[in-house]
Structure 1
Amino acid sequence: MVSPRVRTLFTDHLGLARTRYLPGEPHTNRIRHCLTLFAQNFDNQMTVGAPGSRFLEGMPDCEAVFDRSEMRPSWVEGERLVVCDLYFRDELLDVAPRTVLRNAIALWESLGLDPYVGIELEAFPLEPDGSGGWRAVSAPGSIVYQTGPIADPHGLIDDVLEGAVRAGLAVEAAHTEYDAPQLEFTLHYDRALKAVDDIAVFKLMAQEIARQKGLHLTFMGKPFTAAGGSGLHVNLSLRNAEGTNALVDTSGDYGLSDTARWAIGGLLAHHEALSAIVAPTVNSYKRLRAGQMAGFWANWGLDHRFTTVRVSPERGASTRLEYRQPDGAANPYLATAAVLVAGYLGVMNRIEPPVIETNDAIETASTSRSTPENLSIALDALEADTEFASAFGQMCVDNLLAIKREEWAKYAAHTTDWEHKYYLPFL
């Protein structure tokens, strides 16, 4: 047990948790941070002049502001946790992911609809390899849809679920995935902001619990060449003022409403632009390949795992659209906001979806459109999709373009181990 404290949390542009401890009972609900962290990269270097970071304006402060009534229990005894909004000069910070999600939710609320979200997360537990790196945990008897010590020899699922109970997180299910030792966790659906806050808290909790066991739980999109990738699937439903699921129309094709159909159309119309947000790393595009059940094609289908938008088989209150392109490295706030914005644009523009996928979508698909080949091309697609960028938040898009283009340039200039192994013996 730790001494009583409050831990503040917000998620940055890279999807990383930024936290602070406030011992005892905080005397203020406003905590200052340097705004220019929004110019930071994974290697701790800064993108000078990154839009929205105010790097060249003296690196001023922003404020992480929390509502005391939203303090929640932590998985750590003696600690409370609270998710913050970011403000700059008394206005919500435009590049902050939680602000972007709030704005996306407001678009749907302007239509009298309340978005609900349920998120599925996949991740690989890793152990030290003895050389300063990490390797997959050995679980030779593990198969998909399994629990217990054969599938999870370190008991990580057990400890994460216990932590979730202490933290008040509603985990709907947990089990192994197809490629050992990959795990999947599904959190209960909720109103969009609450659901994504819960995912942000869950990811931090799960990684910290793993690290206390000497492990690392990675949400990286494709950590191993020979194994499948790790997704972050966003399940979307919409409720009207009466609490009815607005995706349902029993007289419509497949039991779907116009709203559902147009939302699918919007998600697929902006497919390439969304890639840059929901598949935000160089590594992401090693997962996004045909036949990988990873949202590669700009297609949709009924209970079809090789489509990007999978319509669940349930109808009535449980009808939902499962968006399968995001990977575990995606920022959950930005990924969910991207899904909401693209769906909203589909409804506003009454975009009809393409023909439903009836092929296997492994060797044969109903469309030739797919995710871009790599992050660089995806960033170009995002920049070119001005309608989406404007609705999503132009400053956030510009910030991501600057940060991620620098990330791509670093990757493109780096000589890899593969190049050494493939070429050096002969050249």
Structure 2
Amino acid sequence: MDAQQITGYLKQNNSHHIKFAFADIDGILRGKLIHRQKFESGLQNGYGFCDVVFGWDSADQAYDNVAVTGWHTGYPDKNCRIDLATFRNIPWQNNIPFFLADFSGADKEGVPCPRTLLKKIVSACADMGYHPEFAQEFEWFNFSETAKSLQQKSFRGIEPVTPGMFGYSILRLSQQSNFYLDLVNLLEEFRIPLEGLHTETGPGVCEAAIIHDHALAAADKAVLFKNAVKEIASSHGIMASFMAKWNADLPGCGGHIHQSLWNTDKSHNLFYQADAEHGISELMKHYIAGQLYCLPFIMPMYAPTINSFKRLVEGAWAPTTITWGIDNRTAALRAISQSAKSARLETRIPGADSNPYLAIAASLASGLYGIKHKLPLNIKPVQGNGYLDTSNGTLPKNLLEAATAMQQSDVARELFGNTFVDHFTATRVWEWRQFNSQVTDWELKRYFEII
């Protein structure tokens, strides 16, 4: 629908207000409810939006180490543009019209907008003659809690909706059938169709795979999926958490990315070659080689929080080594290449806490880097336990190590530009500083009496 059709639809349906939102640097949706008159007046030239949304963290604390905005700039408005192609209605909110937005209208001003960054990578991919097909799948835990109850109990004694380690359980899905049926049906109405939904191993944990789409649309759906699940869950008295590792004794939550490159009319999967070993084309080999080569320099885009790295431990269904394998879930990259229809690469490093725009941008940009530079895939596919294969290196151990490596990397700057790298890595260093300044429960229990 174009602008005229959408404004006509709003009038015909007596819609006086619309919602729009964009993802900040952490992937959190920030937005507004605005009158239809304001919506129509900004369709051509955009809307002013305070750039503090890129100057504070997930707790709305202002960064003191970034250049693009801050007290030194006065937090001015920057030009935000609604993407009409993202129009949908929110079925669990009286079908209010909704749009996604980004700051591509302020790109020359150096706004580090994640969606704008991904649009650049997608454009470069198109210039190389490829159609990028992507999908992100998520694991998350569901709790019999509310925001208020968690605050009242100081985040202790958190209660999952169901007990026990019960992966792929039909029983557990049926015991919460109203919630799960609402998820699949309402998400379908919200233009986020799910390929599958099942329980994972752990109390109250689920996994959902979103049907694949063009990279930008896939990222849009992933961002909206996380927020939509939280809103739908809340209507059932449930709190959904996409935290990477909420409990040290349980598996973490992944946000794996499936991807393939096709020709421009989507008639041929360029990752598949029937007569090649394992069915993997030379193009796919270059793509894998690019991801492996760039991985140490872009890790914060896959693992953006302190908590992200607590998921990346041995034997917990998350990778720890720079490896790839054929249908091997212990490797960082899992190649699936049985047929032309399904041949793809699964990047298994990202957690459910990742910003989909940045995680998908990192995957696509690093894969294209391998193609552009014709990097050879000299690393052999790992056989068996990928945790034991450290021959090509291991993943960074914490956020500070990862952010510092990215900050100092010429590769990251080639992929994403100086403005984004400087800003993003500064926000990750800030995150580390906030964590490092706190006294934790672990420290109190360890040292308070005995030292």
Task: Output the TM-score relative to the length of structure 1.
Answer: 0.93
Residues 306-321 of structure 1 aligned to structure 2 (within 5 Å): 306-321=330-345
1:27 corresponds to 2:50: no
* Higher deviation after alignment, 58-67 or 88-97: 88-97
Shift, 1:13, TM fit? 0.5
2:101 is matched with 84
1:421 corresponds to 2:445: yes
Give the alignment partner of residue 127 of structure 1, picking from 144, 154, 167. 144
Find the residue that maps to 1:186 and give its secondary structure.
strand
Structure 2 contact 289–375 (Cα < 8 Å) conserved: yes
1:57 corresponds to 2:81: no
Find the residue that maps to 2:341 and give its secondary structure.
helix
Deviations 1:12-46 (A, max 9, x none): 10110012112446323333211132110123211
* Distance (whole Å) between structure 2 residues aligned to residue 90 and residue 37 of structure 1: 15
* Distance (whole Å) between structure 2 residues aligned to residue 51 and residue 248 of structure 1: 44
2:3 is matched with none
Structure 1 contact 92–99 (Cα < 8 Å) conserved: no
Instruction: Among all aligned residue pairs of Structure 1 and Structure 2, give the percentage whose two residues are the same amino acid.
Output: 25
* Distance (whole Å) between structure 2 residues aligned to residue 220 and residue 206 of structure 1: 13
Give the alignment partner of residue 367 of structure 1, picking from 391, 400, 403. 391
* Distance (whole Å) between structure 2 residues aligned to residue 229 and residue 69 of structure 1: 34
| Residues 17, 110 of structure 1: alpha-carbon distance in 2 compared, 3 angstrom cutoff | same
Give the alignment partner of residue 226 of structure 2, picking from 197, 203, 219. 203
Give 4+ residue runs of structure 1 displaced > 6 Å after superposition: none
Structure 1 contact 142–176 (Cα < 8 Å) conserved: no
Deviations 1:249-286 (A, max 9, x none): 22322211111001111111112222111100001111
| Residues 35, 291 of structure 1: alpha-carbon distance in 2 compared, 3 angstrom cutoff | same
Name structure 2 gaps, 5 residues minimum.
Answer: 1-13
Give the number of the structure whose residues are more often helix, by fraction. 2
* Distance (whole Å) between structure 2 residues aligned to residue 368 and residue 67 of structure 1: 42
Give the alignment partner of residue 338 of structure 1, picking from 362, 368, 373. 362
| Residues 154, 3 of structure 1: alpha-carbon distance in 2 compared, 3 angstrom cutoff | farther
Structure 1 contact 108–344 (Cα < 8 Å) conserved: yes
* Distance (whole Å) between structure 2 residues aligned to residue 394 and residue 227 of structure 1: 38
1:104 is matched with 121
Find the residue that maps to 1:57 and give its secondary structure.
coil
Give, as a single letter, the amino acid of the residue that structure 1 aligns with 2:97: R
* Higher deviation after alignment, 404-413 or 337-346: 404-413
* Distance (whole Å) between structure 1 residues aligned to residue 276 and residue 230 of structure 2: 44
| Residues 58, 92 of structure 1: alpha-carbon distance in 2 compared, 3 angstrom cutoff | closer
Give, as a single letter, the amino acid of the residue that structure 1 aligns with 2:394: S
* Distance (whole Å) between structure 2 residues aligned to residue 83 and residue 92 of structure 1: 20
Structure 1 contact 139–151 (Cα < 8 Å) conserved: no
Task: Output the TM-score relative to the length of structure 2.
Answer: 0.89
2:326 is matched with 302
Name structure 1 gaps, 5 residues minimum.
Answer: none
Give the alignment partner of residue 30 of structure 2, picking from 3, 9, 18. 18
Give, as a single letter, the amino acid of the residue that structure 1 aligns with 2:356: P
RMSD of equivalent CA atoms: 2.3
Give the alignment partner of residue 197 of structure 2, picking from 150, 165, 174. 174
2:293 is matched with 269
Deviations 1:59-83 (A, max 9, x none): 2111221244542122222311111
Find the residue that maps to 2:120 and give its secondary structure.
helix
Give the alignment partner of residue 270 of structure 2, picking from 246, 260, 277. 246
Q: Number of residue pairs matched?
A: 426
